[in-house]
Amino acid sequence: MSVEQFGYKQELHRTLTLKDLLVYGMIFMVPIAPFGVFGYVWEGSNGMVALAYLIGMVAMFFTAMSYWAMSRAFPVSGSVYAYAQRGIHETVGFFAGWLILLDYILVPSLLYIVSAAALAPVLPDVPSWAWIVGFIALNSVVNLVGIQFTAKANNYILFAEIIILSIFVVLGLIALYSGVGAGHLTLEPLYNADKFSLPLVVGAVSIAVLSFLGFDGISTLSEETKGGVDTVGKASLGALLLVGVLFILQTWIAADLAVGMKFSSLDTAFYETANLAGGEWLKQATIWSTAISWGIANALVAQAAVSRILFAMARDKQLPKLLAKVHPRYKTPYVSTLLVGLISLCSGLWFNGNIDNLSRLVNFGALMGFLVLHVAVINHYIIRQKSRNLVLHLLFPVIGFCIIAFVIYEMDWEAKILGLSWLAIGVVYYFVLRVILKRETTLKLEEN
C-alpha cells in the first residue's frame, strides 16, 4: 500500500477500513437515490424502471471489476486519472482525469439541486438558492475537518436511509396487495413487451446510472485506506451490488404502485407514489430523507472525492500546485475542498431547476472516464504484463466498454455536445500547459 514506490510522500492519514469504504460507497450512491430521479427514469423507460437499474448495475459490475484490477496495481489517489496515467500514458491520464472531473465537479451541484427541489413543496417560502448555499457551507466545513469525521457521520446517515427504505418497501407491498396500483407485483417494471425498445430503455439508463456513480469514488481514498491492496476493489464491488439490489427492489415496487397515476411533476413522482403507499407522513419522510441524503451525505462524500482528484492532479503538476496543499492539522486537501465548494455554488445556482440535463452531463463525464479505464486494464495487464487471466483482464473490460459505449451513444445529443465541449477545453488547456508554458510533471512512472 506504500505510495513511496510511485514517487509520492504519504501525506494523508490511513484510517479507513473495508467497512468504512463500504459505507462511503453506499452513501455516495445513496440507497434511496431513485427517490429523486424516479420520475425521469419512469418516463424515459416507459415504466420499466427496474430494468433500467438492472442494466445499469450490470454495466457498472464490469467497471467495478476494472477498478479492482487497477487499484491493485496502483494503490494511489486519483481514481481514473491515476489508472489511465500509469496504465496507458501520462497524456491519456490527464484527459481521463479531465473527463472524470466533469462528473465529480458537477455532481455535488446536482445533489444540491435535487435536495432543493425535494424541499420546495414542503417549505415553499424558502428559496432554492438558500438550500444550496446552506448545504455547501455545511459540507465544506465537515470535509475540511477530516475524512475520519466524514466516515463517522456516514454511518448514522446510512442507517437512517435504510430505515426509511425498509418502511417504504413494507408499506408499498402492503398497499399493492391491498389493490393499489397494479394490485400486486408484476413483471412489467422489468419487462413490458408492448412498450419495450432497447434504445429507449438504454436512454433511460443514462439517467438511472447517475445513482450508481459513487462506487468509483472509493478509489479516490486509496491513500487513506488500510488493509491491503484488495480493500478498495472489494469495497467498490460490494457497495455496487448491495445498492444495486436495493435500487431494483424499490423501483419495482414504486413502478407497480404508479400504474394509472398521473404525476404532477417528474421531480416529485416518487413522493406522490409514497403518499399512495403510506399517506402524507411517508411522503414527507421520503422528501426529507432525499434532501438530507443527497444534499448532505452524498454531496459530502462527492466533495471529498473530487478534492482528492484535484489533489492528485495538482501533485503531478497537471493542475495548479496550490490545489495539492494539505492542511497541517487535519491532513486534508483543504484548498481543493474550498475550490469544489465554490464551483458547486456557481454551477448549482446556474443549473438550478434543470435536473434532467445536468444529470446527463454528469453521467457523460463519468462514462467517458470509464471507457478509458477499461482500455487501461487491457493495456496494463494484457499488453504490458502478458497476463493470462483473459476473463478479468480482457473479457470483462471489453464487455464493460461495449455496454458503456452503447449507453453514451443513446444519450441526449445536448449532453454529448456539452461533454465534448468540456473535452475541447481540456485539449486547449493541455496544449498551453505543455507546448506554450513547457511545464513538465513531477510524475514518476513505472514501466511494467
pLDDT digits (tens, 9 = 90+) for 43-89: 888 889 999 899 888 888 999 999 899 988 888 777 788 889 889 98
Average pLDDT, rounded, for the chain = 83
Whether the CB-CB separation of 205 and 403 falls below 8 Å is answered with no
Distance between CA atoms of 88 and 84, rounded to whole angstroms?
A: 5
Does the pLDDT at position 9 exceed 80? no
Query: pLDDT per residue over 331-374, tens digit each?
Result: 778 888 888 888 888 877 877 766 666 777 777 888 898 999 99
Distance between CA atoms of 157 and 137, rounded to whole angstroms?
A: 18
Share of the chain above pLDDT 90, in %: 26
pLDDT of residue 186: 94
For residue 16, what is the DSSP state?
A: B
Q: Work out the average pLDDT over 15-41.
A: 85
Q: Work out the average pLDDT over 291-310.
A: 77
pLDDT of residue 62: 93
Q: Work out the average pLDDT over 105-122.
A: 80
Phi-psi group of 212: left, alpha or beta (phi > 0 → left; psi -120 to 50 → alpha; rest → beta): alpha
pTM, full prediction: 0.78
**Residue 448's pLDDT band (cuts 50, 70, 90):** very low
Distance between CA atoms of 219 and 69, rounded to whole angstroms?
A: 11
pLDDT of residue 173: 96
Rg (CA), the chain: 21
Which cell numbers in the block locate residue 64?
Answer: 467495478
Does the pLDDT at position 217 exceed 60? yes
pLDDT of residue 248: 95
Contacts of 424 (CB under 8 A, 6+ apart): none
Give me the residue label for grid cell 476493489: 233
Query: pLDDT per residue over 246-284, tens digit each?
Result: 999 999 999 999 998 888 888 889 999 999 999 999 999
C-alpha distances out from residue 257 to 39, 129, 188, 419, Å: 13, 33, 12, 36
Q: Which of 7-16, 132-141, 381-390 has the lowest mean pLDDT?
A: 7-16
Query: pLDDT per residue over 365-417, tens digit each?
Result: 888 989 999 999 999 999 999 999 999 999 999 999 998 888 888 777 887 88
Distance between CA atoms of 321 and 335, rounded to whole angstroms?
A: 10
Beta bridge partners of 225: 16
pLDDT of residue 444: 52
Q: Work out the average pLDDT over 2-6.
A: 64
C-alpha distances out from residue 200 to 41, 49, 196, 409, Å: 10, 12, 8, 12
Does the pLDDT at position 447 exceed 50? no
Give me the residue label for grid cell 406522490: 272
pLDDT of residue 441: 57
For 405, phi then psi, to 5°, come to -60, -40
Which domains does the chain show, CATH number per domain? 14-436 (1.20.1740.10)
Distance between CA atoms of 71 and 142, rounded to whole angstroms?
A: 27
The distance in angstroms from the start CA to the end CA of the chain is 17
